[in-house]
Amino acid sequence: MIATMSHSEQGQAAISSANTIKRDQIANMRWIMEKAREFQKDIYFCFIDYAKAFDCVDHSKLWQVLKEMGVPDHLICLLRNLYVGQEATVRTGYGTTDWFKIGKGVRQGCILSPCLFNLPVYAEYIMRKAGLDESQAGIKIAGRNINNLRYADGTTLMAESEEELKNLLMRVKEESAKYGLRLNVKKTKIMATGPITSWQVEGEEMEAVRDFTFLGSMITADGDSSHEIKRRLLLGRRAMTGLDSILRSRDVTLPTKVHIVKAMVFPVVMYGSESWTIKKADHRRIDAFELWCWRRLLRVPWTARRSNASILKEISPECSLEGQIVKLRLQYFGHLMRREDSLEKTLMLGKMEGTRRRGRQRTRWLDSVFEVTSMSLTKLREVVEDRGAWRAMVHGVTKSRTRLND
pLDDT, tens digit, 9 for 90 and up, residues 335-363:
999 998 899 999 999 999 888 888 888 89
Q: Which residue has the higher pLDDT, 281 or 14?
A: 281
Q: How confident is the model at residue 9 (pLDDT cuts 50, 70, 90)?
A: very low
**Cβ atoms within 10 Å of 11's Cβ, excluding its own:** 23
Q: CA-CA distance, 109 to 400, in Å (whole number)?
A: 43
Q: CA-CA distance, 397 to 388, in Å (whole number)?
A: 14
Residue 97 lies in a domain: no
Domain harbouring 130, CATH code: 3.30.70
**Rounded alpha-carbon distances, angstroms, from residue 361 to 5, 248, 278, 358:** 43, 47, 15, 8
Are 245 and 322 part of one and the same domain?
A: yes
Give the start-end residues of each E strand in 131-186.
139-141, 144-146, 148-151, 154-159
Are 142 and 17 part of one and the same domain?
A: yes
- Residue 191 CB-density burial (10 A; 0-12 exposed, 13-18 middle, 19+ buried): buried
Are 337 and 232 part of one and the same domain?
A: yes
Q: Is the dihedral of CA 52, 58, 63, 64 positive or negative?
A: negative
Are 211 and 356 part of one and the same domain?
A: no
Q: CA-CA distance, 402 to 396, in Å (whole number)?
A: 11
pLDDT at residue 3, rounded to an integer: 54
pLDDT at residue 301, rounded to an integer: 87
pLDDT at residue 203, rounded to an integer: 82
pLDDT at residue 201, rounded to an integer: 82
Over residues 69-100, the pLDDT tens digits come to 788 889 889 888 888 888 899 999 999 999 99
- Backbone φ, ψ for residue 220 (5° rounding): -110, 155
Question: Under DSSP, is residue 341 helix (H, G, I), strand (E, B) or coil?
Answer: coil
Tell me what the pLDDT averaged over the chain comes to.
87
Average pLDDT value for residue range 65-72 = 81
**Cβ atoms within 10 Å of 192's Cβ, excluding its own:** 22
Are 212 and 358 part of one and the same domain?
A: no
pLDDT at residue 160, rounded to an integer: 92
Q: How confident is the model at residue 386 (pLDDT cuts 50, 70, 90)?
A: very high
Last residue of one domain, picked from the residues 185, 218, 251: 218
**DSSP single-letter state for residue 50:** B
Q: Which residue has the higher pLDDT, 332 or 129?
A: 332
Q: CA-CA distance, 214 to 154, in Å (whole number)?
A: 9
Enumerate the β-bridge partners of residue 154: 49, 151
Residue 186 lies in a domain: yes
Enumerate the β-bridge partners of residue 141: 144, 352
Q: How confident is the model at residue 124 (pLDDT cuts 50, 70, 90)?
A: confident
Residue 80 lies in a domain: no
Q: Which residue has the higher pLDDT, 381 or 303?
A: 381
- Answer whether residue 15 shows pLDDT above 50: no
Are 214 and 312 part of one and the same domain?
A: no
Q: How confident is the model at residue 64 (pLDDT cuts 50, 70, 90)?
A: confident
Last residue of one domain, picked from the residues 218, 239, 268: 218
Average pLDDT value for residue range 16-23 = 76
Residue 81 lies in a domain: no
Give the start-end residues of each E strand in 2-118.
44-49, 87-88, 91-92, 95-96, 100-101
Side chain identity at 263, as an amino acid letter? A
Average pLDDT value for residue range 246-258 = 94
Last residue of one domain, picked from the residues 193, 218, 243: 218
pLDDT at residue 4, rounded to an integer: 54
Are 201 and 253 part of one and the same domain?
A: no
Q: CA-CA distance, 320 to 283, in Å (whole number)?
A: 11
- Answer whether residue 283 shows pLDDT above 50: yes
Min mean pLDDT across 6-15, 247-256, 359-368 is at: 6-15
Pairing mode, strands 217-220 and 211-214: antiparallel
Residue 344 lies in a domain: yes
Average pLDDT value for residue range 6-30 = 70
Residue 88 lies in a domain: no
User: CB of 47 within 8 A of CB of 188?
Assistant: yes
Residue 296 lies in a domain: yes
Are 6 and 133 part of one and the same domain?
A: yes
pLDDT at residue 135, rounded to an integer: 78
Are 132 and 203 part of one and the same domain?
A: yes
- The top-scoring range by mean pLDDT among 175-179, 185-189, 326-330 is 326-330
**Cβ atoms within 10 Å of 185's Cβ, excluding its own:** 19
Are 131 and 240 part of one and the same domain?
A: no
Domain that holds residue 342: 224-406
Residue 65 lies in a domain: no
Are 292 and 396 part of one and the same domain?
A: yes
Are 263 and 193 part of one and the same domain?
A: no
Q: Look at the chain and report how many structural domains it folds into.
A: 2
